[in-house]
Chains A and B, each alone.
Chain A
């Protein structure tokens, strides 16, 4: 670390200390090569002094043929920090599950070193590779070079945002659906919706292989596809006995924490039994005893809709609309359902109204009718507690 009096960035320099990896060190590495990264660091130091951001509002930039995928960003202090006068972001669609070969990543670095600041996010919160900081004139050449190495842009604005999924069958025994293949197939199916904003607001799709939901689909996406199963948890009695002989307390840590009390444990016989009809497939027992317990064989997904962060009318967690569906290539049932829902949302949604907010405004009843889904008790936590309900006149004859 340089002496405080020699440094342009004495506040940020303090964030190079400590055991956690330092983003300041990363900016400095790029600052050795690009003026953009150098001025980014200086502007950030200015923000640390001023306690306020120094990026201007918006500005529309892009590449030919697309309406999204690039976020315009300009400093509000261009004379002081000319290197970030234009410092736009490219969102680059990652491979499913964020798997890479080193060769592919080096190709990406070559393109970004040629056109941009050298700084990236691996990855952005939605899942894209974020290429952070390029001037307007570099955007099209950068995209053309990305296309040469097989990287396309992700979503931004009022479009389908880049869908994401968990590691799934690539490395996880809990995966009840092929999250990676479904994600890749959906992403290719909806390229137009991804690249050309045409909706009332953003629309997100996330896919998790089991109810552990490692990509936070229920919290973060308008369409949450979560793997589950319908038959019985598979028990390996020998491995149950091995766990019993380890330091795991099966009664306390597994049976007592089962939310449906559908398990019982006989310590003398080392026998674990599950009343599968009463199991709600929460994953706890399987998480704790993965060698002994496995998800069932009749696998599929629960389909939920409406999850979102607060803007505009408050955060929502997704709601079950299809308790169980098979998930098999070419995934037509899922794609058709997504299309039907988009159509209803597009027709009825107001500017900046997410799907969940529209369902809240027009009612689940209207939504289910429009997308032709039957009401089932798995959709709700409890029936209504008020007497304010409607009848279709056709039903009252």
Chain B
């Protein structure tokens, strides 16, 4: 018998708690009651409390069964996840909010991630399950969030702060528009295995995949060559061709980007900008990365105005001031030389020292 196909995901309407079914599209306002707790009030006067907890994103079925049991006890069996891997318990009985929070805290859940906090970092697979990573993902996120935990469980920052991590330039996550982005990078050109290239790769597709035109055909030997001076190690050729691995224990590591945002509130969405071109892979806790991220977050937190996102603060003070305040050395890698690079060069003699 042929399998059933193309029937689509479960209908969300069957997943909604009764208070949402009743008040769908009729919400009036919300309050941030305290860290990790939102209260939404509908035009009908009905209230819905949301208790948000962080998750490790990589979770076992045991964990899912655990949180289902909690949802059964406190939320009539209803829960949801957010776009940043948080878990939300949806509570319609106000009397159950505090017992739920107490239960969660007693069982080691991280309640928080609302308002002017660091929410759960969006991140990728890393060494756990990806074939192109330049670093691990879950390990760095765990180390960074252990270090910055106080900013997840409180709302003491000037504004939202979104940290994201991608383990290579593919960026399976919106890291390129984050307040702080942690990005795995390679620093060595691909190491070509010509036998594999000949056996397994569509050479024109590999050439087309190179953003800098560094790859040329070598028809005589039915393979290709890489102009190493033009290669900036993006790894896209390896995605197309297993004969061109770029990963390397010494070459690989982490870069730090800051000042991006996604929301259009006040200012349009912005890209994050490179501020630290390389930090080493130093598992299991990547201390150079956790120190760098804490320094950037706290420099921003101690200087920004209320509601001012990282990038908005830097736009106000200027990048040259950011580098002095954060005490981050400036290097030539931070000056763009890809397409549209000159858009980022300064054309006025007005700047700060």
Contacts and interface: CB of A to CB of B under 8 A. Distances in A.
Interface string A334-357: 000000000000000011100000
Contacts of B346: none
B131 A55 contact: yes
B264 A113 contact: no
Given A23-B142, A350-B208, A309 B170 contact: yes
Nearest to A291: B29
A121 B236 CA distance: 25
B99 to A, nearest CB: 18
Given A96-B12, A164-B83, A220 B238 contact: no
Interface string B145-158: 11001001000000
A12 B127 CA distance: 12
Q: Is the interface of B mostly helix, strand, loop or mixed?
A: loop
Nearest to B248: A52
B339 interface: yes
Contact of A352 (B90, B208, B252): B208
B68 A102 contact: yes
Interface string A206-228: 00000111111011100000000
Interface in B144-198: 145-146, 149, 152, 166, 169-174, 176-177
B45 interface: no
Interface stretch (B73-81, B219-227, B295-303, B325-333): B73-81
A314 interface: yes
Nearest to A313: B211
A15 B127 CA distance: 15
Contacts of B129: 55, 73, 87, 89, 132-133
Contacts of A66: 5
Contacts, number: 364
Contacts of A73: 129, 131
Given A23-B56, A173-B29, A216-B262, A126 B172 contact: yes
B349 interface: no
B82 A98 contact: yes
A389 B188 CA distance: 41
A99 interface: yes
B68 to A, nearest CB: 4
Nearest to A19: B149
A284 interface: yes
B321 interface: no
Contact of A104 (B3, B15, B83): B15
Nearest to B144: A20
A291 B4 CA distance: 47
B5 A195 contact: yes
Interface string A89-120: 10001111111111111101100110000111
Contacts of B12: 95-97, 99, 170, 180, 184
Contact of A311 (B10, B58, B77, B234): B234
Nearest to A187: B8
Given A15-B143, A23-B142, A195-B5, A284 B58 contact: no
Contacts of A253: 306-307
Contacts of A86: none
Contacts of B234: 310-311
A22 interface: yes
A103 B110 CA distance: 24
A171 B170 CA distance: 32
A46 B30 CA distance: 47
B11 A101 contact: no
A358 to B, nearest CB: 13
Interface residues of A, number: 125
Contact of A11 (B64, B126, B284): B284
Q: Which of A100, A214, A288 has the most CB of B within 10 A?
A: A100
A94 B9 contact: yes
A143 interface: yes
A170 B25 CA distance: 6
A350 B204 CA distance: 12
Contacts of B82: 98, 167, 214
B51 to A, nearest CB: 13
Interface string A235-249: 000000000000000
B72 interface: yes
A341 B125 CA distance: 31
A281 B277 CA distance: 36
B60 A118 contact: yes
Contacts of B239: 311
Contact of B131 (A57, A290, A309): A57
A93 B29 CA distance: 30
B159 to A, nearest CB: 10
B342 interface: no
B124 interface: yes
A54 B59 contact: no
A317 B271 contact: yes
A28 B318 CA distance: 47
A19 B9 contact: no
Interface in A28-53: 29-30, 37, 40, 44, 47-48, 50-53
Interface in B256-290: 260, 262-267, 269, 271, 281, 283-285
Interface stretch (A144-152, A271-279, A321-329, A368-376): A144-152
Contacts of B238: 57
A214 B27 CA distance: 17
A365 interface: no
Shortest 9 CB-CB distances between A and B: which pairs? A18-B146, A57-B242, A102-B68, A169-B25, A309-B171, A99-B15, A20-B145, A93-B9, A211-B264
21 contacts: A14-B285, A23-B138, A23-B142, A29-B60, A94-B9, A99-B20, A109-B64, A123-B85, A144-B3, A152-B8, A170-B20, A175-B27, A184-B11, A215-B83, A218-B262, A219-B262, A219-B269, A283-B264, A315-B171, A317-B271, A352-B209
Interface of B: 2-12, 14-16, 20, 24-25, 27-31, 40, 48, 50, 54-65, 68-69, 71-72, 77-83, 85, 87, 90, 108-110, 122-133, 136, 138-139, 141-143, 145-146, 149, 152, 166, 169-174, 176-177, 205, 208-209, 211, 234, 236, 238-240, 242, 245, 247-249, 252, 260, 262-267, 269, 271, 281, 283-285, 306-307, 338-340
Given A99-B80, A121-B125, A310-B171, 16 more contacts: A20-B141, A21-B56, A21-B108, A26-B58, A51-B283, A55-B130, A63-B3, A65-B6, A95-B15, A102-B68, A102-B69, A112-B61, A147-B4, A219-B269, A291-B31, A317-B269
